[in-house]
């Protein structure tokens, strides 16, 4: 297997083709949607690209400021696992709220409804890993519980484009809390 070339896409390095590669989180590509209403908020380091998508396992790091969610409360047909790398957050899961801190691990079997909301006094960094097998399916419930944290879809849907229709797209840039994170 050849080494994949890396290219700068404007917010860091991403693979420009298939193959193995090494990239440091400080140098990798980032997308951010911080600082506004009607956004799936926070920032994420995504190690794949349109030119080189991972077919078996999705992996990224998501950074949340206090009060920001990483998206909308949802359940999907794939297993997902999460590890808090830095800071604090709240896990909204199956109608319950759980505080999490550094090194807390979360396992979500398929169809577990969940989302994360930043908490504490600074940014939270979460390693997110999800399996990819078969056709991906998702459900965004209308949830009064998640709405209290600004993380509910306006109406139940299985279409991400509908769930996020009023949200602004992400920008290619590093999170504003970059200097407060453990890798800076």
Find all residues with CB under 8 Å of 35, minimum gap 6, and list them: 41, 176
- Average pLDDT rounded to a whole number, residues 12-25: 95
pLDDT tens by residue, 25-42? 989 999 887 555 544 567
Of the candidates 173, 180, 49, the one whose C-alpha atom is nearest the C-alpha of residue 125 is 180
- The three-state secondary structure class of 42 is coil
User: Terminal CA-to-CA distance of the chain, rounded, Å?
Assistant: 32
Domains recognised in the chain with CATH numbers: 6-168 (2.60.120.10)
pLDDT in the model for residue 182 = 66
φ/ψ of 163, rounded to 5, equals -60, -40
Other Cβ atoms closer than 10 A to 51: 14
pLDDT in the model for residue 173 = 73
pLDDT tens by residue, 82-127? 999 999 999 999 999 999 999 999 999 999 999 999 999 989 999 9
């Amino acid at each position: 297997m050849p080494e994949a070339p890396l290219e700068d896409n404007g917010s860091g390095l991403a693979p420009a083709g298939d193959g193995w590669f090494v990239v440091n989180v400080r140098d990798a590509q980032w997308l951010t949607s911080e600082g506004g209403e009607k956004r799936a908020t926070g920032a994420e380091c995504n190690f794949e690209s349109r030119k080189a998508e991972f077919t078996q396992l999705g992996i990224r790091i998501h950074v949340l400021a206090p009060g920001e969610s990483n998206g909308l409360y949802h359940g999907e047909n794939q297993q997902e696992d999460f590890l808090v790398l830095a800071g604090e957050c709240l896990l909204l899961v199956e109608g319950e709220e759980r505080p999490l801190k550094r090194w807390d691990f979360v396992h979500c079997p398929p169809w577990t409804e969940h989302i994360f909301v930043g908490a504490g006094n600074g940014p939270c960094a979460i390693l997110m890993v999800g399996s990819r097998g078969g056709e991906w399916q998702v459900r965004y419930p209308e949830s009064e519980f998640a709405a209290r944290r600004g993380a509910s879809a306006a109406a139940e849907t299985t279409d991400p484009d509908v769930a996020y229709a009023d949200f602004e797209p992400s920008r290619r840039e590093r999170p504003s809390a970059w200097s407060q994170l453990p890798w800076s």
